[in-house]
Amino acid sequence: MNKSILLKDGFIVLPEKTLEGSIRICCETIIALGDLTPLEDETVIDCSGCYLLPGGIETHTHLDLESMGTVTADDFRSGTRSALAGGTTTVIDFATQFHGESMARGLERWHEKADGKSAIDYGFHMAMTEWNQNLRREMASVVDGGITSFKMYMAYKGRMMVQEDDIYEALEEAGRLGATIGFHCENGLLIDLLTRRIRGEGHLSPYYHQMTRPDEIEGEAIDRLETVVYLLHTNHYIVHLSTARGLSSILRARERGNQVVVETCPQYLLLDHSRYGTPEGDDFEAAKYIMSPPLRDRRDQEALWQGLASGGIQFVGTDHCSFNFIGQKEMGRHDFSAIPNGAPGIELRMNLLYAYGVVRGRMDINRFSVVTSTNAAKYFGLFPRKGILQVGSDADIVVFDPRAEWTVSSDLLHDNCDYTPYEGFALKGRVRDVFLRGSHKVASGKIISENTDGRYMRRALPDSDIR
Ligand code: URP
Ligand code: ZN
Ligand code: ZN
């Protein structure tokens, strides 16, 4: 007979309300929840004063990704360990089909990258770097394999960019299959032109990356995408939304009847373009923040926070795409366009969102659990197994102590990157314990199990009825 564990006397966070009570877990699942008395022989963990939250679901990572002549600093081993320490128990990574390759081959490689290395449960989106009829024919078998979300890039001309005719056909096929496609919305043609112009004028410092991608570049791409969607009315979502301009395009599209699901990221909520320094400055530290889309301004941050709170935006992923400052970001020391794009963030997602969202009064704890877990579980076909604290669900649980106070420093994190964009951030609240399918993985903020027993999750079709 397996022994049960009682998480005793916490605040159980549900999507619409919070209950005072305890959760009993046994054999990987939640078996009871409410006012529970300890059983004889049961392990009891005192959770008084703490929130009990559904394990976080990270919707956007690039682990072990080959990009811009290098490979991300984090693979599945270090990336998922870092996620676990931060309260994330499921990650959905972007398996990538490279040019000329089949999706089956891309997926096979991603299974090899992840198999036996993941500390948490994981699934894949399928990122397509081009479009053709072979890929169209393959989509059905990808969906059969439990990958029910794809990604296409409207940016990165010549490498991954697709245009409206491709998008139309891909959405048509995804719609037929009941799957979804996430879009990286930036105008790749204009970015390419602006980059050539700016470099041609001799502007090569990291400051100029943002000048190649003003906010209109995102907004216009969203307008173009939503025009295609208007013709087809298919399921789709927008990844890493960064601007108020983009959000107003989304709201306009929704008014016309398009059902748009949206992800944003902590960096667009919390960091701004002042990190890029000044045109005169040549401080290469700015390379740490080179990502696409780039960091925006405070007005954008406020619009995104409001969108998250009000249901305009449905979930938060980090776009964890880590490159070391030394040796990797440095590849672009003399040319901003050679700096590998992306930054780390997987470990701090829940902590940042709590400290700057809940503590600052921008959202309540229930909305916090919805945008860090429940909505992603529903949209990415994992619900009700994941994303909710209820009897029968996987016992993926975070014990979160709202009283803790700490300051972010790269040395405290578990990823394999030599910096964090959030260095020095003062945080209130901290992930204390983490359970993955009932197994106690993090205690008092420390990883206590090094098992890489995360399971591959075959996902069901998306439920887009989320707010
Ligand atoms: O700069 C970023 N975001 N790199 C990762 C790839 C992507 O566009 O999501
Ligand atoms: Zn992207
Ligand atoms: Zn990404």
CA proximity to 25, closest of 1, 44, 6, 48:
6
CB atoms within 10 A of CB 466: 18
Tell me what pLDDT residue 2 has: 84
User: What is the C-alpha separation between 178 and 188, in angstroms, rounded?
Assistant: 28
Closest ligand 1 atom, residue 60 Cα: 9
User: What is the C-alpha separation between 359 and 215, in angstroms, rounded?
Assistant: 29
Tell me what pLDDT residue 13 has: 99
CA-to-CA separations, 113 to 59, 107, 175, in angstroms, rounded = 18, 10, 29
Closest ligand 1 atom, residue 291 Cα: 1
10 Å CB burial of residue 268 (0-12, 13-18, 19+) is buried
Task: Tell me the average confidence (pLDDT) per consecutive run of 10 residues in the chain, 467 residues long.
Answer: 93 98 98 98 98 99 97 98 99 97 98 98 98 98 97 97 98 98 98 98 98 98 98 98 98 98 99 96 94 98 98 98 98 98 98 98 98 98 98 99 98 98 98 98 98 98 96
Domains and CATH numbers, the chain: 5-53+388-408+425-447 (2.30.40.10), 55-376 (3.20.20.140)
Residue type, 328: Q
If you ran DSSP here, which 8-state letter would residue 218 be given? H
- What spacing in Å lies between the alpha carbon of 456 and ligand 3's midpoint? 20
Instruction: Give, for ligand 1, the residue of 319, 320, 328, 339 to mutate: max count of ligand atoms closer than 8 Å to Cβ.
Output: 319
| DSSP-assigned beta bridge partners for residue 184 | 153
Is 464 in a helix, a strand, or coil?
coil
Say if residues 86 and 418 touch (Cβ distance below 8 Å).
no
Closest ligand 1 atom, residue 184 Cα: 8
Angle formed by the axes of helices 244-255 and 215-232, nearest 10°:
20
> Which residue's CA is minimally distant from atom 9 of ligand 1?
319
Task: Identify the residues whose C-beta falls under 6 Å from ligand 1.
Answer: 62, 184, 291-292, 319, 321, 341-342
Tokens of 99: 């040019």
Closest ligand 1 atom, residue 240 Cα: 9
Classify each residue of 401-438 as buried b or exposed e, where b means 16 or more C-beta atoms within 10 Å of its C-beta: bbeeeeebeeeebbbbbbbbbbeebebbbbbbbbbbbb
CA-to-CA separations, 57 to 83, 371, 374, 375, in angstroms, rounded = 9, 9, 8, 9
- What spacing in Å lies between the alpha carbon of 453 and ligand 1's midpoint? 28
Q: DSSP labels for 27-95? A: TTEEEEEES-PPPTT-EEEE-TT-EEEEPEEEEEE--S-EETTEE-S--HHHHHHHHHHTTEEEEEEEE
Closest ligand 1 atom, residue 62 Cα: 5
- Dump strand ranges (E) for 391-461: 397-407, 426-436, 439-443, 446-447
> Which residue's CA is minimally distant from atom 4 of ligand 1?
342
How many angstroms from the chain centroid is the CA of residue 351?
A: 14
Say if residues 466 and 91 touch (Cβ distance below 8 Å).
no
- What spacing in Å lies between the alpha carbon of 402 and ligand 2's midpoint? 32
Ligand nearest to the CA of 61: 3
User: What is the C-alpha separation between 182 and 261, in angstroms, rounded?
Assistant: 9
Alpha helices by DSSP H, listed for 72-159, are 76-85, 103-114, 133-144
Tell me what pLDDT residue 282 has: 79
Say if residues 419 and 410 touch (Cβ distance below 8 Å).
yes
Spatial CB neighbours of 241, under 8 Å, sequence gap ≥ 6: 185, 218, 247, 250, 262, 263, 264, 268, 304, 307, 313
Tokens of 73: 């600093």
Say if residues 115 and 90 touch (Cβ distance below 8 Å).
no
Tell me what pLDDT residue 60 has: 99
Say if residues 96 and 153 touch (Cβ distance below 8 Å).
no
Instruction: Give, for ligand 1, the residue of 58, 62, 184, 296 to mutate: max count of ligand atoms closer than 8 Å to Cβ.
Output: 62
Tell me what pLDDT residue 322 has: 98
> Which residue's CA is minimally distant from atom 8 of ligand 1?
292
Positive or negative: CA dihedral 308, 314, 315, 321:
negative
Residue type, 260: V
| DSSP-assigned beta bridge partners for residue 93 | 61, 124
| DSSP-assigned beta bridge partners for residue 426 | 407
If you ran DSSP here, which 8-state letter would residue 392 be given? T
Say if residues 78 and 416 touch (Cβ distance below 8 Å).
yes
Tell me what pLDDT residue 1 has: 65
